[in-house]
Structure 1
Amino acid sequence: MHIEKLSDRFPIGLAKDLKFIESEIYLSSMHESYMPFDIQFEKNTLTIPTRIYTDEGQLGRLAKLTPKQQEVIYCVFSRHHDGFVREKCLRQFVTSNNSFTAPYILQLLGEYVVEIIEVIYQNREKINKDNLVRYISENPLHYEQTRQRVYSYWDCYYRRAYPKYKRGVSPKDDSYLDYPGIKMVKYINALLSSTKL
């Protein structure tokens, strides 16, 4: 039996919240989390799993948690092996002002489920831009890997569905037939260009 430990996944400033969450939510699984990767967050190293296998039924037990604590759980379950669960949870924190959500949003951008990527792109103006830019400035490699994955997934799976994509062409508007992941990368690149890092 594997128990997800939240202290490795979130900043130390959330220690009390994490302890309370672990007392209320049963984060066990028959399988260990898959392919964890390290990021830097506010000068600390955090480890985020690529996938978790915890029972999504635990999402029905959030009533005793504060809104911030609920966002922690939604971030955790945004790593779930079921894409429908990932999308459902993303919708709960994509517009959050809590800085700890930024790495989870970026990681989802670099995945292959286009419906999840569309949620990110559709909410681009509501995403906390300062948190996202700050996170990317601390983790340029994570952003570069994400950017490369976006282009690779488009090339492998979505080239036919989004045939108008051409390098160097800017999206014209929301109706422009372009892969939402590529449009989001262009949007982030513009944010990074306009911000002194």
Structure 2
Amino acid sequence: MPSSPASNLAFRTGSITTAFPSDLTLRAEGLHPILGSSSQATHPGIEVRVGGEDLVIPYRIHHEGNEQGCLQLSGLQSVMYSCILTRHHDGHVRQRQLRQIISVPEPWVVPFVVQLTGEYVMEILDTCEAHLQALDPELYGAFIRDNPKYFKAQQDRMISYWDCYYRHLYKHRQDYVGFRLFEHFRKLAKG
């Protein structure tokens, strides 16, 4: 298991470079000019394991720049930019960027998609469900198996939001999109 720079504050809070595998560091650094003065919330980053590497994606970013910044990027950097914007403070931005990445078959995209399934924004959950067939079963299954505590925390978060905001509308679990998403993920994890 490679060592992780856990003592580095940027690593613990999540940054552009810690959000992607080390072989993408230079491309991630190339996003700095496009993201400009984006700032991160003080919340600790989201620690996940992808392809044997420890990554930390930002919990939330505050980016007032143009979402179209990706138009000046290469294909791979454009996907990376969209991944980072799925952590945006505005749910509409998160949903639009989710549509850009959800069918991309890269293991480092998976945590950005799965993170959104634990959120309370119903439209984001509906977008995830509408694209379930586009998800690479091997990539998502491997990610869930490699991150059982993270997956459980996301599921618990989804249940908490359902209980707080949606239980009165969806009394039966099978009627709420979040439960259907996590059931699908559990099946992928089993192979």
TM-score bracket, shorter-length normalisation: 0.7 to 0.9
1:75 maps onto 2:72 in alignment? no
Name whichever structure is richer in helix by fraction: 2
Structure 1 residue 95: Cα displacement: 0.9
Identify the range of structure 1 (145-154 vs 12-21) with the bigger mean alpha-carbon deviation: 12-21
Gapped regions of structure 1 (runs ≥ 5): 166-170, 172-177
Identify the range of structure 1 (96-105 vs 47-56) with the bigger mean alpha-carbon deviation: 47-56
User: Would the aligned equivalents of 1:109 and 1:150 in 2 still touch at CA under 8 Å?
Assistant: yes
1:52 maps onto 2:61 in alignment? yes
Identify the range of structure 1 (148-157 vs 41-50) with the bigger mean alpha-carbon deviation: 41-50
User: Would the aligned equivalents of 1:34 and 1:52 in 2 still touch at CA under 8 Å?
Assistant: no
Among 51, 71, 86, the alignment partner of 1:42 is 51
Q: Give the structure-2-normalised TM-score.
A: 0.85
Aligned partner of 1:17 in structure 2 is 27
User: Would the aligned equivalents of 1:7 and 1:18 in 2 still touch at CA under 8 Å?
Assistant: yes
1:189 maps onto 2:186 in alignment? yes
Q: Percent identity?
A: 28
Distance 1:14 1:28 in 2: 21
Aligned partner of 1:174 in structure 2 is none
Matches within 5 A, 1:104-183: 104-165=112-173, 171=174, 178-183=175-180
The C-alpha deviation readout for 1:70-124, integer Å capped at 9, x for no partner, is 1101110100111111101101001111111100111100111111011111110
- The change in CA–CA distance for 1:144 and 1:5 in structure 2 (over 3 A counts) is closer
Runs of 4+ in 1 over 4 A off after TM superposition: none
Instruction: Letter of the 1:184 partner, please give it.
Output: L
CA RMSD, Structure 1 to Structure 2 (Å): 1.7
Gapped regions of structure 2 (runs ≥ 5): 1-13
Q: Give the structure-1-normalised TM-score.
A: 0.83
Instruction: Letter of the 2:180 partner, please give it.
Output: K
User: Would the aligned equivalents of 2:40 and 2:58 in 1 still touch at CA under 8 Å?
Assistant: no
Among 96, 100, 110, the alignment partner of 1:88 is 96
SS in structure 1 of the partner of residue 132 of structure 2: coil
Distance 2:186 2:97 in 1: 25
Distance 2:85 2:32 in 1: 14
Distance 2:171 2:65 in 1: 36
Paired residue total = 177
Instruction: Letter of the 2:176 partner, please give it.
Output: Y
Distance 1:5 1:160 in 2: 38
Instruction: Letter of the 1:11 partner, please give it.
Output: P
